[in-house]
Amino acid sequence: MKPVRVAIVGSASSGKTTLAEALAGRYREVWVPEYLREFVDLRGRVPVEADQLHIAETQAAREDLALARASRCLFCDTTPLMTAVYSRHYFGRIDPRLEALVALRRYDITLLCAPDIPWKPDGLQREPEDQSAAVNALLSEELVARAIAHVRIHGPLAQRLRQVEEVLGN
């Protein structure tokens, strides 16, 4: 049986990484960290528009590699869709090659993390708190426009884990 690909999306500081790591521990499964964090740390700067496709392609490639190590589930801390949302937010458009990549990616379950936990600054990695509402609105628009079924996950971590357990069926 093929592992279930679980996409975890949401604005910055919405708990994606914390949830992905906790789910991987809970299910003793594989998770794919967000490549953007590594990109920012290595380059010491925020990405520009020309970096967006590389970031999304690297994220997708790492997901594909990790899938071979997963047995039941693969938890993806963000997806190329989030790169597209940020491209739309910061650069006013989505590069056609990035759009094509997003259109090809398939996830069995998409979890939308609500921005209802305390926002924390994270150096260059995270946009200012006042951008989260705008990014969340764009993400919601994209999910609807792309007909991507999703489950909104909210509350503290223990509550979020229970919600995901209900979605996964255990």
> In this structure, what token pair is assigned to residue 151?
């489950």
For the chain, the C-alpha Rg in angstroms (whole number) is: 15
Instruction: Express each pLDDT in 36-48 by its tens digit.
Output: 989 999 999 989 9
The pLDDT of residue 128 is 59
Position 119 pLDDT exceeds 70:
no
- Reported as a pLDDT band with limits 50, 70 and 90, residue 1 is confident
Domains of the chain: 4-168 (3.40.50.300)
Local confidence band at 153 (pLDDT 50, 70, 90 cut-offs): very high
- What is the band of 162 on the pLDDT scale with cuts at 50, 70, 90? very high
Residues counted in the chain: 170
- Is there a contact between 47 and 98 (Cβ–Cβ < 8 Å)? no
Count of CB atoms situated within 10 Å of the CB of 120: 9
Look at the pTM and tell me if it is higher than 0.85: yes
pLDDT digit string (tens) for 126-144?
555 567 888 989 999 999 9
